[in-house]
Amino acid sequence: MMMNSILDDYLTRTELAAELGVCERTVIRWCDLGDGPPMVKIGRKPLFHRPAVKTWLASREQVAA
């Protein structure tokens, strides 16, 4: 029987960068500028809640020119 972790819906900075197709440094820069997806810190480890990332992505949608 497989147990679900309380952190199953959270991504590390590395995982988020890989899923978005950007380098990890870009994610760090977004966070430093306050322009990235919302995050939660557990100790020093930043984590990104997958539903919050999807909401953040949707908020950045633009009409194609």
Gap between the Cα atoms of 49 and 10, Å rounded:
4
Please give the tally of structural domains in the chain: 1
Let me know if residue 46 belongs to a domain.
yes
Let me know if residue 18 belongs to a domain.
yes
Q: DSSP 3-state helix, strand, coil percentages of the chain (rounded to 5)?
A: 45, 15, 40
Let me know if residue 44 belongs to a domain.
yes
The residue segments making up the domain with residue 47 are: 10-58
Let me know if residue 1 belongs to a domain.
no
pLDDT in tens, the chain (65 residues): 567 899 999 999 999 999 999 999 999 999 999 999 999 999 999 999 999 999 999 999 998 87
